[in-house]
Amino acid sequence: MLPVPRADLAPNTAAFETIPLVKATGFREYDARWMFGPEINLLGVQALGLGLGTYIQELGHSKIVVGHDFRSYSLSIKQALTLGLIGAGCEVLDIGLALSPTAYFAQFDLDAPCVAMVTASHNENGWTGVKMGAQRPLTFGPEEMGRLKEIVLGGLWKERPGGGLTQVEGMAERYIADAATRASISRPLKVVCACGNGTAGAFAPEALRRMGVAVVYEMDCELDYTFPKYNPNPEDSVMLHAMAQAVRDFGADLALGFDGDGDRCGVVDDEGEEIFADKIGLMLARDLSALHKDATFVVDVKSTGLFATDEVLQANGANTVYWKTGHSYIKRKTSELGALAGFEKSGHFFFNPPIGRGYDDGIVSAAAILAMLDRNPDRKLSDLKKALPVAYTSLTMSPHCPDEVKYQVVEGVVAEYQALQAAGGKILGRAIRELITVNGVRVALEDGSWVLVRASSNKPEIVVVVESLRSADDMRALFREEVRPRLAKRPEVGAYNQEI
């Protein structure tokens, strides 16, 4: 019997080799993330597998798909997780090296209700984690993660006989073939495919070619888990700038960039201009709402306010619901409402039938973007972007803040804004029109501009986004004169990953 996990073990000790190490902070709102070594060891991962297997048995399931991303330690972590799942009596279907959406696709392809994808997505090297679900196409939310945490940390797992392992061959090919059916492009399009040396490099270029486009440059598509240039994160300015330069160098019609586990897609247009994912979402919503009248869209609170005011969406009868940031939250709300699509500013897009199966898939998102261009043969991507109302939206900025205190810090900021609104206070001369507090606080101002402060769901960080309807200078002022000074008063808040 595996011992109950502890949180106080140090690497390079006998105890580290004989007792599971699992830090409680790794159980996040909707998936699990740890630093491998300091926060979880292989026995800890085995305990996680035992706990997950016990939990899905509680839910009446035993069949589970597992896969892993491309990092030096991901295969060994998946094997430790698998050992735990088998010990809990589960039937494990191992699809090998995979993207997260490949694992989600495999749930449908193999008729398996559950999934456990070993990935740290775009996180820096040293991180690992697991994305889990037991009700396709959904992934765990806070309730499920809470129960899993209780089982694992309490050693409450139940070992059962009858577990087994099947190595599934050919899943990558079946996934690529299916993704390629999501678009059939007749218009000549030259595409830069950017993967940041992440796992998507093994899948995305071939999928795009099968959709009918010319991939003129495979940018950093060689797998390299050291990420020698930058993390594979198409929301990061460094990767976006590299994509933009490649578009100019190769005269491409657009660049499509994929994150480390392939469930997100970033976009640069034909003029080498980066288009943030929420604006791409608005362009797709305009296009799709013309084909699907009275459609509902779900967007996260980090996204542009234009979804609520856009005249094209209103003319097409579209309805937009703002909801909590996080792939699990938006995916679940999109399914719950029967929405046509859900869009997250981070680049997680969720398409329900007939476009997709409801889970976040960067390659299916790329197909939707290419299909939109194919339906507008006389317009470039930059033309579609310029047709949007003007809004100046910042990058997503993330100051460091320890997991143990980040939620309390955000609660304090929420309380400050509530007091400011109650007192009739203003922000840069503008009254507060509304506070949206489903996820941190989104402070909407009387002119339509807004600022957002929330806790990151999967990293020790605060998340900050601002948007101005006035100017880029005003957008910067909202950050530099309002949000940054407010957070700077708190000693727990550290350096930003990027600033405007």
Q: What is the pLDDT of residues 151-186, one digit of tens each?
A: 999 999 999 999 999 999 999 999 999 999 999 999
pLDDT of amino acid 457: 80
Report the first-to-last Cα separation within the chain, whole angstroms: 53
pLDDT of amino acid 247: 98
All domains of the chain in start order, with CATH = 14-173 (3.40.120.10), 187-272 (3.40.120.10), 276-361+371-386 (3.40.120.10), 392-488 (3.30.310.50)
* Closest of 143, 135, 95 to residue 119, by C-alpha: 95
pLDDT-derived band at 235, boundaries 50, 70, 90: confident
The structure's pTM equals 0.89
468 contacts: CB under 8 Å, gap ≥ 6: 391, 392, 449, 474, 475, 477, 478
pLDDT of amino acid 261: 96
Q: What is the pLDDT of residues 37-62, one digit of tens each?
A: 999 999 999 999 999 999 999 999 99
Q: What is the pLDDT of residues 366-404, one digit of tens each?
A: 999 999 999 999 999 999 999 999 899 998 899 999 999
Contact 266, 257 (CB under 8 A): yes
Which residues are identified as catalytic? 121
Q: What is the 8-class DSSP label of residue 294? A: T
Residues linked to residue 409 through DSSP beta bridges, in sequence order: none
Residue 464, judged by CB atoms within 10 A of its CB (0-12, 13-18, 19+), counts as buried
416 contacts: CB under 8 Å, gap ≥ 6: 486
Q: How many angstroms separate the CA atoms of 29 and 132, rounded?
A: 12
Residue 404, both tokens: 């143990």
pLDDT of amino acid 302: 87
- Burial of 331-369, coded b for 16+ CB within 10 Å and e otherwise, reads bbbbbebebbbbbbbbbbbbbbeebbbbbbbbbbbbbbb
Positive/negative CA dihedral, 413, 414, 417, 422: negative
Residue 70, judged by CB atoms within 10 A of its CB (0-12, 13-18, 19+), counts as buried
